[in-house]
Chain A
């Protein structure tokens, strides 16, 4: 049964990109375990506003695990200690009476803190802009049987397309590598006939952009895969390596 619990949240406060930042501990009383983690932060912010203090800044939008904007590194895990969910899907029943919950922003050089818990993830947008699309003219809507796609191929592409671009993979990685994200975005297109046409160019330009933006070199620790809320497999990383090396050897 869900209870009401008394907890403390230890939150990273940082006034702006240049500020050094520090932790603040806030006690919270009678938080229903049935509420979501973000609702708990809403309550905290309401308290802070009532006390005339500045609320904690954090990213959130859909609150149903599909938009990818929520972040937060909670108690040693991106998106918190629960499995295969985003922060907005995390519930307070994961925590117990008396817990002190540590909440931090994603930490990675390519994701600088904007304020408090909000980080700048435009680096991901730039990688997508570098080639995460198809620019071939596919004409009008063709018959579904005009281009045949094997079922398993379609499934793999769909699995890769589940990536919501949240950046938890980068946050979890000791090397600050974005390979899981980039490999998902390359795979979802490289696996399909329409995407294959530009596969070589796409792999090269997206990887080049990823390197330029200061993400690290993947050493296959697999931490990304464990923390990814959408279960993106590191097999995609092997596929990206394959696509990239193939493209380079063709040059």
Chain B
């Protein structure tokens, strides 16, 4: 199993599996958020009864943290190794080879996502599951209300939008790149996989952004 660390394709394999896992998590997450637009009670039920301090929610949380951890640690190693392989001297005439912007900036995009993640975890996860688990004063159970409060601040909404645009760029390259890395690609499937990746990225990012913006506009109250 040491090839998962020692070999370049092994490292890429881990990076792509962890990335695909995170995409699955995001798909679940965005679907759950979308519930919020339609119904407060259902959302509260999902967030508290289904995903409170239950054993499965805790295990799930640990697995997701592990997924992020692996993805981020590997991304640092891959990026450092690649810089070293490239060497210190830049091309004087720069690189004029056309390549997608995302593909050249995966680490920076990831960094934006990681910074956003810190804010997001503090504002949401820490206030709900973490406080409940560790018996800290003021654990929130009115999830929908908390979300509404957080998104009432326009700056938070703006940060969310920026982060999800970064995520969109990350995923438009990341999805097909991950499938390419696990070997599931050829001349015929390339176009299809890129298309599926674009649709998936758009769904995830528009979904998250829509919830943040609509909450800010008080849309959910109208329906409640």
Closest residue of A by beta carbon distance from B9:
A244
- Tell me whether A222 and B82 are in contact (CB under 8 A): no
- Tell me whether A217 and B8 are in contact (CB under 8 A): yes
Residues of chain A with a CB closer than 8 A to B153's CB = none
Question: With the chains together, A42 CA to B97 CA distance in Å?
Answer: 27
Q: When A75-B93, A219-B177, A220-B177 are in contact, do A176 and B100 touch as well, CB less than 8 Å? A: no
- Tell me whether A235 and B183 are in contact (CB under 8 A): no
Interface majority SS on B: helix, strand, loop or mixed? Answer: helix
- Tell me whether A76 and B106 are in contact (CB under 8 A): no
**Best-buried of B7, B78, B89, B91 by chain A (most CB within 10 Å):** B91
Question: With the chains together, A235 CA to B194 CA distance in Å?
Answer: 13
- Tell me whether A242 and B12 are in contact (CB under 8 A): no
- Tell me whether B103 and A222 are in contact (CB under 8 A): yes
Question: With the chains together, A73 CA to B92 CA distance in Å?
Answer: 10
Residues of chain B with a CB closer than 8 A to A10's CB = 92
Partner among A73, A81, A214, A226 whose Cβ is within 8 Å of the Cβ of B85 = A214
Query: Using a Cβ–Cβ cut-off of 8 Å, how many residues does chain A contribute to the interface with B?
Result: 52
Partner among B85, B94, B99, B181 whose Cβ is within 8 Å of the Cβ of A76 = B94
- Tell me whether B3 and A215 are in contact (CB under 8 A): no
**Whole-angstrom distance between the Cβ of A229 and the nearest chain B Cβ:** 13
A-contacting residues, B64-113, CB 8 Å: 78, 81-82, 84-87, 89-100, 103-104, 106
- Tell me whether A176 and B85 are in contact (CB under 8 A): yes
Closest residue of B by beta carbon distance from A172:
B97
Residues of chain B with a CB closer than 8 A to A238's CB = 180, 183-186
- Tell me whether B9 and A107 are in contact (CB under 8 A): no
Question: With the chains together, A35 CA to B199 CA distance in Å?
Answer: 49
Closest residue of B by beta carbon distance from A108:
B87
Residues of chain A with a CB closer than 8 A to B181's CB = 218, 220, 241
- Tell me whether B85 and A216 are in contact (CB under 8 A): yes
- Which residues of B are interface residues toward A (Cβ below 8 A)? 3, 6-13, 78, 81-82, 84-87, 89-100, 103-104, 106, 173, 176-177, 180-187, 190
